[in-house]
Amino acid sequence: MQSGQTEIADNPRAYVRWVMHAAQLGDVDAQATLAQLLLDGRGVQKDPTLALSWFRIAARQRHPMAINMVGRCLENGWGCVIDLADAAQHYRQAADLGLDWGLYNYGQLLSRGRGVEQDLAAAYEQFRLAAAKGHAKSMNLLGRFHHEGVVVPKDVPLARQWYLRAAEAGDFRGQYNHAAELAQAGDEEQACVWLERALNTATPGFLEAAYPVLLASASSAIREMGLRYQQQSDTQ
């Protein structure tokens, strides 16, 4: 989709017209792309209901990401009433087709018992399969399972390996956890490097929860970084 992102940046309306034409002709990838554009409001007026309709059209042709995105819409109420059980079914379909995001999203519902009966062992397996496909968020969650000894033996060195892999793959939670492990091991310099990467891409909700922890750190460098980022967010 890199070329598509360039095209929409250069001429968003023309790109949307091209995608819509291809979608109407039955191109399943274009249908899924059009749905995402409508959901995000990129180059076109945001319309979650119409987006869901196009996701469903592509999903009926077994497009893995479209199936996953129907699940996302159902989970979050985008263009529809929230239906967690139906969302779980769609995530499982996408997972069965081998989609890393389907595996991750289905694992999340299994781990929390949302729309399905809670099953941490099954959730772990979904995350393991997604991580094997390079899914960074799943790598971080495997780290948590091993760090806490949930459904697997507690293994902190293995957890650290997963945090590092997640961090290197770009997951901000993995970067944060990797930084925490480095700080605990006394490597303040590298901890600050990874912490800054995490703070630069983290969600507002994550940052809000992280600031009190950072400001209470035994490391003056980490405290200073936490204060600096908190002040920046307060002025935005």
Residue 6 has pLDDT above 80, yes or no: no
DSSP classification of residue 22: H
Residue 108 has pLDDT above 70, yes or no: yes
pTM above 0.85, yes or no: yes
Q: Is the dihedral of CA 43, 47, 53, 55 positive or negative?
A: positive
pLDDT tens-digit series, residues 183-227: 999 999 999 999 999 999 999 999 999 999 999 999 999 999 999
CA distance 72 to 82: 10
The CA-atom distances, in angstroms, between 104 and each of 25, 94, 120, 131, 148 are 32, 10, 13, 9, 19
Residue 58 has, within 13 A of its CA and on its CB side, a CA count of 29
45 φ/ψ angles, rounded to the nearest 5 degrees: -65, 135
Banded pLDDT at 177 (limits 50, 70, 90): very high
- Would you tell me which CATH number, out of the four given (1.10.274.30, 3.40.50.150, 1.10.510.10, 1.25.40.10), belongs to the domain 134-236? 1.25.40.10
State the residue for tokens 């949302």: 114
pLDDT > 90 fraction of the chain, expressed in percent and rounded: 93
pLDDT tens-digit series, residues 109-132: 999 999 999 999 999 999 999 999
As a whole number, the mean pLDDT across the chain is: 95
State how far Cα 223 lies from the chain centre: 27
Residue 2 has pLDDT above 50, yes or no: no
For 186: left if phi > 0, alpha if psi spans -120 to 50, otherwise beta; the answer is left
pLDDT tens-digit series, residues 13-46: 899 999 999 999 999 999 999 999 999 999 999 9
What pLDDT was estimated at residue 8? 59
What pLDDT was estimated at residue 13? 86
Work out the average pLDDT over 103-108: 98
Closest by alpha carbon to 106, among 150, 71, 143?
A: 71
List the end-to-end C-alpha distance of the chain, in Å, as a whole number: 31
Q: Pseudo-torsion of CA 76, 232, 169, 164, nearest 10°?
A: -110
225 φ/ψ angles, rounded to the nearest 5 degrees: -65, -45
Work out the average pLDDT over 49-69: 98
Domain ranges in the chain? Answer: 134-236
Banded pLDDT at 3 (limits 50, 70, 90): very low
Residue 51 has pLDDT above 50, yes or no: yes
DSSP classification of residue 26: T
What pLDDT was estimated at residue 7? 58
What pLDDT was estimated at residue 129? 98
